[in-house]
Structure 1
Amino acid sequence: MKSLSYKRIYKSQEYLATLGTIEYRSLFGSYSLTVDDTVFAMVSDGELYLRACEQSAQYCVKHPPVWLTYKKCGRSVTLNYYRVDESLWRNGNAANLLI
């Protein structure tokens, strides 16, 4: 899974380059993506999850999101990040949800 996550990180860095220099680091067993020390996305198991915000609200209403979850002390914790599906990658709309 680690190699899948790195592939997605590199694809995200290329795809979202208009946001600035995208850096990543390990966080919660996944990877956080940051621009100017602001976390805007997570990569987990090879999938990109964007932080939910006002700009993404309409998208989340029309397309029920898959939320990022992880285990903490045996309990599932849901984070405010939704998975970017393949239609967003193909249509080039993922960056628009961040701007």
Structure 2
Amino acid sequence: MSTSPDYLDYLRELFAPLGLIRTRRMFGGAGVYCDEVFFALVIDDILFLKTDEQNRADFEREGLEPFCYESEGRRITLSYYRAPDEALDSAALMQPWAHSAMGAALRAKQAKTPGRKRKKACP
């Protein structure tokens, strides 16, 4: 699995209207962040957008597949669905999908509870 630098450059340009876009290599692919919110995953130059209960049906209605991988003999499915091919043609076509993915990412971020701070042991 690899993701080309040219494809990541294209995605940064495609998503630029959303805000500050950066990519970071991870999982043999790359994560896409908007204003430090992780909302998309790129594996083998295929873009997957964040989903949740509120937007997953939109992706399924278009016949789009979730990102899956095998680990220890089990199939793991993540809450990222493939982006529609036609949305990759322009920022205008991508915008509603990207906003939907950002919404899912923000809801997931808000749902996480902050971890407890550990107290230092007394010497």
So what's the TM-score if we normalise by structure 2?
Answer: 0.65
1:67 aligns with 2:62: no
**Distance in 2 between residues matched to 1:57 and 1:71, nearest whole Å:** 22
1:94 aligns with 2:94: yes
Give structure 1 stretches of 5+ with no counterpart.
none
**Distance in 2 between residues matched to 1:11 and 1:39, nearest whole Å:** 17
How far residue 17 of structure 1 moved from its aligned partner, in angstroms, is 0.1
**Distance in 1 between residues matched to 2:11 and 2:57, nearest whole Å:** 22
Write the mapping of 1:1-99 to structure 2, written as runs, cut at 5 A: 2=2, 4-53=3-52, 54=54, 56-57=55-56, 59-90=58-89, 92-99=92-99
Pairs aligned (count): 97
RMSD over aligned Cα, in angstroms? Answer: 2.1
Give structure 2 stretches of 5+ with no counterpart.
100-123
How far residue 58 of structure 1 moved from its aligned partner, in angstroms, is 5.2
**Distance in 2 between residues matched to 1:7 and 1:82, nearest whole Å:** 22
How far residue 44 of structure 1 moved from its aligned partner, in angstroms, is 0.3
**SS of structure 2 residue aligned to 1:32:** strand
% identical equivalent positions:
26
Moved over 3 A (4+): none
The 3 A distance-change label for structure 1 pair 79 and 57 is: closer
